[in-house]
Copies of this chain bind each other. A is one copy, B any other.
Amino acid sequence: MASVQDIVVAASINLLSVLAFLLAFAFLRLQPFCDRVYFPKWYKKGIRESPKKTGTALKKFVNLDFRTYLRFWKWMPEALRMPEPELIEHAGLDAAVYVRIYLLGLKIFVPITFLAFAVLVPINWTGESLDKIKDITYSNIDKLSISNVSPGSLRFIAHIAMAYVFTFWTCYSLYKEYKIVMTKRLEFLAAENRRPDQFTVLVRNVPPDPDESVSEHVEHFFCVNHADTYLMHQVVYNANKLATLVETKKGLHNWQTYYQTRYERNPKARPRTKKGFWGLWGENVDAIDYYTAEIEKINGEEAAEREKVMSDPNAIVPAAFVSFRSRWGAAVCAQTQQSSNPTIWLTEWAPEPRNVYWENLAIPYVELAVKRLLMAVAMFFLTFFFMIPIAFVQSMASIEGIEKVFPFLKPVIETERVKSVVQGFLPGIALKIFLVLLPTILMSMSKVEGLTSFSSLDRRTAGKYHLFIIVNVFFGSIITGAAFEQLQKFLNQAPSEIPRTVGVAIPMKATFFITYIMVDGWAGIAAEVLRIVPLVLFHLKNTFIVKTEKDREEAMDAGGINFYITEPRIQLYFLLGLVYATVTPFILPFIIVFFAFAYLVFRHQIINVYDQKYESAASFWPDIHRRVIIGLIMSQLLLMGLLSTKGVSKSTPVLLVLPVLTIWFHRFCKGRFESAFVKFPLQDAVIKDTLEKATEPNLDLKAYLHNAYTHPVFKPVEAERTVFIDEEENNPLVTTKRTSRRENGGGGRGGDGGGGSKPDSGRVTPRVVLD
């Protein structure tokens, strides 16, 4: 096991790389040519304008104001400065609550760390169990851990007591946080502007009717069963093919622009391309002509398909968005059962228009049930047996495998140097590629399951990824060996034996996880802030494709929090912290650094970079809560197993109380808070309805909702920003001409284009400080 010195060395190396990333970021973010990569959020909001428009040619690309370099660290306090209500207005509740996960980590682990270092570390240190055993080597870290307490010692009482204290503190923090998030969500929903989804319910599985079209059937059904509140409905067209055509056209258009640009720069040679895939093979043709012709062709196809979809009754799927006269009516319809057959006329609160996942709106009940079964089975095999295909690919990717497929490479890779690289590199790369692709694979699995909104897809995928991480990263690192070997081992072990096997291995893996935290946690977060991939992509696009300001807007690619990728990874740190709090408290400071640093970076990112695709008003919080609870229960069981091997098996009943209480606590919180994240209470609906009726008695709701739920491909391009943004365009958004470097990256605010924030225009003051 590594000694403290080793850890210090590893920490230093990692800290240096983190520092390098941060310095690179601090330097690049001040350069005008990177401005759009590091501040896209402000561009999207229209508050920031391209710095290139002013100043000399050189100044347009490089920041020559050296004073600003001296304050390179200033983005950090900037990121923390924006108060939370403003953050919610600026970036939406989803993003603001997302960074609260890191805050929750700090809230839980800072007191735990102090307590652990004050109580457990001295007790472990003076345990002197390891000193007695002369023939094994041990590190100083082990002296700080529970391993140093001799079996059967009364000192374990302290660990058990601390397990209780940590559990209660964690539950208390979770409870408080759940309450805060619930309050914020309710306030957010109450303060929201009028939005189409407040009045709308998504109806699925409309039963076929021989005499009526889907549209008529929906209208008649709701006219009868919600006579007083039904207003209108919008049918859903199966525009999946059309969407593909539009997407293809966009790609072709990009290529055309690219060749056009090349031709303009070098008018002597008209660029040529090959007709095949990605221009790699096929007939050689004139590129510009070819793409122009292709676009023509696809234009025709698109028009025909558009025509077909709009006229063909079979292109209407048995689903509809039904809107009501009042929020009350929509809330009632979304929460009640319509028909005595619970598989038809399924109603749910409609996702906001840009959150709708259109492909999945029309899956019949039985098909859905079968798909879910298949995906559950697939998930099981993916989690436990993913190593088998990887191992197969790895064996293919060996020297011999390559020689077989590409015999001409033989002389090259047979050379000693290349051979060692290939042998050391290829097997790892196969696994790495799989791990990088994994969230995408899981996401497509979730899509098969038929969820109808992006937010629910994100949440479902996060659950899958969390399972995978627990099994393959946490248990996989503790008990080395492939997951299916572990599974077999667990199946052949007594249930009371499993926590023991894992528990014993836990103290030994502390140093491994410390290194993991530094590499994956610290360096990963630092890489996040640097945004290398978007940086490169932006400049490539900017050089070759960007023609208009709109193109440049699109090329910025602000991205967003990839909830389904990042959240399960955070949960790993919660799990590690809770498991090691009583065992090896030395790991805790590393976790605290991770949470603090990630909080800082993600707060900066959501202020300056990310542009969320949708706003779900923090509906993911119950998942966060549940997963921390899972981590807590795992930590309790593993401590139980560990202690039972330490000659204090009498502690088992004492510790068994903890998971029972924790599960009860979870159920209690679920009953207390969860429905606020699932249902829309009638009282709140009535308040909003009443207020609206008083302030806008002449509102034409029908006109307002007219085109809200139209498939994006049917909307005119300009209208692609959802309708309700128009509302906020009345706000006096301040367009700041940027004449100098902008130190205060966190400043400026205005109506949020997406989050449906308050149009509290009186408070919108530009904070862009000129220096």
Contact = CB atoms under 8 A, between A and B. Distances in A.
Interface of A: 186, 221, 224-228, 328, 331-332, 335-343, 345, 365-366, 369, 373, 376-377, 490-497, 660-661, 664, 667-668, 671-676, 679-684, 686
Contacts of A671: 342-343, 365, 369
Given A365-B671, A369-B671, A681 B340 contact: yes
Contacts of A225: 328, 682-683, 686
Given A365-B671, A682-B337, A676 B377 contact: no
A376 B657 CA distance: 13
B490 A342 contact: no
A345 to B, nearest CB: 8
Contacts of A226: 682
A679 B336 contact: yes
Contact of A491 (B373, B496, B664, B684): B496
Given A343-B672, A376-B664, 9 more contacts: A336-B681, A337-B679, A339-B683, A342-B672, A342-B673, A342-B674, A345-B683, A369-B667, A491-B495
Contacts of A679: 336-337, 342
Contacts of A496: 491-492
A691 B126 CA distance: 83
3 residue pairs, one from A and one from B, having the closest CB atoms: A342-B675, A491-B496, A337-B679
Contacts of A377: 660
A373 B224 CA distance: 45
B676 A342 contact: yes
A341 B676 CA distance: 7
Given A336-B335, A342-B671, A494-B492, A224 B686 contact: yes
Nearest to A680: B337
A676 B340 contact: yes
A686 B338 CA distance: 10
B494 A493 contact: yes
Nearest to A329: B332
A227 B278 CA distance: 64
17 contacts: A224-B686, A225-B682, A225-B683, A332-B332, A336-B681, A337-B679, A337-B681, A337-B682, A338-B681, A339-B683, A340-B683, A342-B681, A366-B668, A491-B495, A491-B496, A492-B496, A494-B494
Contact of A336 (B332, B341, B667): B332
Contact of A682 (B338, B342, B490, B491): B338
Nearest to A690: B224
Contacts of A345: 683
Contacts of A328: 225
A630 to B, nearest CB: 19
Nearest to A226: B682
Contacts of A494: 491-494, 497
Contacts of A336: 331-332, 335-336, 679, 681-682
Contacts of A660: 373, 377
A124 to B, nearest CB: 29
B369 A664 contact: yes
A681 B493 contact: no
Contacts of A224: 683, 686
Nearest to A667: B369
Contacts of A365: 671-672
A339 B369 contact: no
A252 to B, nearest CB: 44
A224 B377 CA distance: 49
Contacts of A672: 342-343, 365
Contact of A373 (B331, B495, B664, B681): B664
A720 to B, nearest CB: 34
Given A369-B668, A495-B495, A667-B369, A339 B681 contact: yes
A391 to B, nearest CB: 20
A467 B21 CA distance: 59
Contacts of A340: 186, 676, 681, 683-684
Given A377-B660, A495-B495, A664-B373, A337 B490 contact: no
B337 A337 contact: no
A224 B328 CA distance: 11
A686 B671 CA distance: 31
A342 B224 CA distance: 30
